Each structure stands twice: as C-alpha cells, then as structure tokens.
Amino acid sequence: MTIVHAKDDTFDAAVLQSEKPVLVDFWATWCGPCRALGPTLEEMAAKYDDFQIVKVNVDECRDLALRYGIEVIPTLLVFKGGQVVNRAAGLMGEQEILALVRG
C-alpha cells in the first residue's frame, strides 16, 4: 500500500471511514525524529496490507492536531472503526509500531 497524505478535507474519508485499521503519523518537515521515522513507515506501507498508513503535517493541518490533542511530534494514533484505540509519541521501530497497531 502507499502512504496517504491527508489534509483537513480528506482526513475523515481516509481515516474515520476506513474499513481497515489506520495508523496516523502526525509530523512536520522540520522535525528530525519525524524525518527519521519516515523510511520505516514507507517500508511498512510496502510490506503490510492489513492496515493503512496516513500522514498528517501538523503545520498544514493545525485543526486536526488540536482535535486530537497532538502536543509532541511525531505522534502516532491508531484508529479502528473511526475511533482512536491507541497512541504513542516519539521515534519508534517497526516492531513497536506493529504492536501499537495490532495491540
């Protein structure tokens, strides 16, 4: 699967209405740990098809960041059935992310 880059107007369709679990990465271009996490998420998107990965740039989507209480980036939220079921902040490896999604 490919990573979806959601904006304010596409977030609900990409995340809340998804039939699969969705891992949402709240990030920013100036954030070093966010940039370091990027390649891991790209590899995971190519490897796993049982969940979708969506990235949200907090500088472009401040309302979404406020809506979900994002205070630190990167923050990963897991949505199932349109609801947040798990969250974590900071740089994580593939196995930690899988545990978060499949938790």
How far apart CA 94 and CA 100 sit, in angstroms, is 10
- Active-site positions read 31, 34
How far apart CA 63 and CA 81 sit, in angstroms, is 21
Long-range contacts of 42-45 (CB under 8 A, 24+ apart): 42/3, 43/94, 44/94, 44/97, 44/98, 45/1, 45/2, 45/3
